[in-house]
Amino acid sequence: MPSSRDPRVLVAEPAGVDGSDGAAVVAEIKQRSGFTALLKRETVATEYLRELGPTIDCVVCVSLPGERVEALTAAAGEVPVIVYGDEIPPVPVDEVVANDGGMDVLVERITERIERRRERDALAEANAKLSALNEYTRELTGCRSVDDVSDTAVDAVTNALGHGRVVLAMLDGDVFYPYGHTLPSEPEVKIDIDEGIVGRTFETGETQIIDDYDDDPDKVRDVPAVGSAVSVPLGDHGVLQVTADRKHAFDRQDAEFLEIVASHAAEALSRLERETDLRVERDRLHAFFEGLGAPAVYVESSDGEEPVLLEANSAYRETFGDEHVGEPVSDAFPTETERTLFAEHLVDGDIVREPICRETADGRVVDLEVGMVPVPTTGLDAAAFGLYVVDVELP
């Protein structure tokens, strides 16, 4: 997160006193450090700090009486205050540099204080961003659609990280297209998988920090007001990019924050793909289940609750009735063997077969073999089909 402005030093000198060193201090600060230095008389400096304190990085008091230093220190808040002179101020300040220390020492102390404060501010900003990101990463784990993932990822980048221009490019076949973005109009740009910065990001699987967009060898088009960018891979799904109008706008920490968003978004997209595959497989199994000529049931457990008999196929309903569908297995099945099979063995994930003796809906008592076949699940504790067979070996 490179600072977007140069350091600014406010130099305060006494009012109505001839021969103050204020102007010389300003000139030396500018020459030796390149910082912006502003010279203000004591009361004006105090008011300036009260109104524009956040724009100042350091205050230097030159030959000020103690009560004026006290007023400036109160107005400065967390802005470091350095006294340049031989008098010890009546209130605590960050540094006192005696006149005989010279300008070298003064400028050195100013630079150290500004760097220290900026490091502290950067750490506080980073912690604030991490806290804000935590809310969005939790949301990403619960997204139920690609649209939800895209919207949440873009919101995380704009709201938590403070980037204004964001594009989430998704891969469709061999072409990237902007799926989620904050652009003022709907972009129609599509880029082949092996083209541009987005293609390089995807191919290498590595984050790209582009300090000068116009000089990048993989630039495929001119984009107004884009000076620099960060491009982060979204696993096998696409690329997340942010841009800024100035060059060298991003550093490694910016990239790391974006990588946090991208990794959670990529995992959410992968989870949705897995869930889709599992739904297709389960639908296929359910179609097979309903078409079986033998009695069959579907049992499911979720949220740590007792497994429930959720479904029974037509052969089961004709043979045993359907009045217990929707009930916990402890109530749904009449034999201890079935209750144990679908309660205790369900979470084991193994195929289990047991012989039972059970009464049918028409009053007959039949010997059967019941087999439990686990089903791949997502979002559930466990699930399985139960198959009832007479005089037939289960596979």
**DSSP-derived pairing of the beta strands 81-84 and 58-62:** parallel
**CA separation (Å) from 21 to 27, 42, 169, 187?**
10, 13, 58, 58
| The residue to which tokens 């910082």 are assigned | 35
* Annotated domain spans of the chain: 8-120, 142-275, 292-389
- Helix locations, the chain, DSSP H: 22-33, 42-52, 66-76, 102-141, 146-155, 196-204, 252-291, 314-320, 329-332, 336-343
Side chain identity at 314, as an amino acid letter? S
Per-position DSSP letters for 121-162, written without gaps between them: HHHHHHHHHHHHHHHHHHHHHT--SHHHHHHHHHHIIIIIS-
* Third-level CATH fold of 142-275: Beta-Lactamase (3.30.450)
Per-position DSSP letters for 282-303, written without gaps between them: HHHHHHHHHH-SS-EEEEEE-T
Classify domain 8-120 at the CATH superfamily level.
Cobalamin-binding domain (3.40.50.280)
| The residue to which tokens 């499911």 are assigned | 300
Domains 142-275 and 292-389 are alike in CATH topology: yes
Please report, in tens digits, the pLDDT of each residue of the chain (395 residues total): 555 568 999 999 998 766 568 899 999 999 999 899 999 998 899 999 998 888 899 999 998 888 889 999 999 998 999 999 888 888 999 989 988 878 889 999 999 999 998 888 877 777 888 888 888 989 999 899 999 999 999 999 999 888 989 999 999 999 998 898 887 776 678 899 999 999 999 999 999 999 999 999 998 888 878 999 999 999 999 999 999 999 999 999 999 999 999 999 999 999 999 888 878 877 787 788 878 888 999 999 888 889 999 999 999 999 999 889 999 999 999 999 999 999 888 878 789 999 999 999 889 999 999 999 888 776 678 889 999 987 544 33
Report the C-alpha gap between 62 and 38 in whole angstroms: 13
Of residues 259, 249, 250, the one with CA closest to residue 201: 259
Kindly state the tokens that stand for 262.
Answer: 């991208």
- Residue 304, C-beta contacts closer than 8 angstroms, at least 6 positions apart: 381
- CB of 207 within 8 A of CB of 231? yes
* Beta bridge pairs of residue 244: 228
- CB of 72 within 8 A of CB of 96? no
With a threshold of 0.75, does the pTM exceed it?
A: no
Q: Which class in CATH covers the domain with range 292-389?
A: alpha beta
CB atoms within 10 A of CB 53: 15
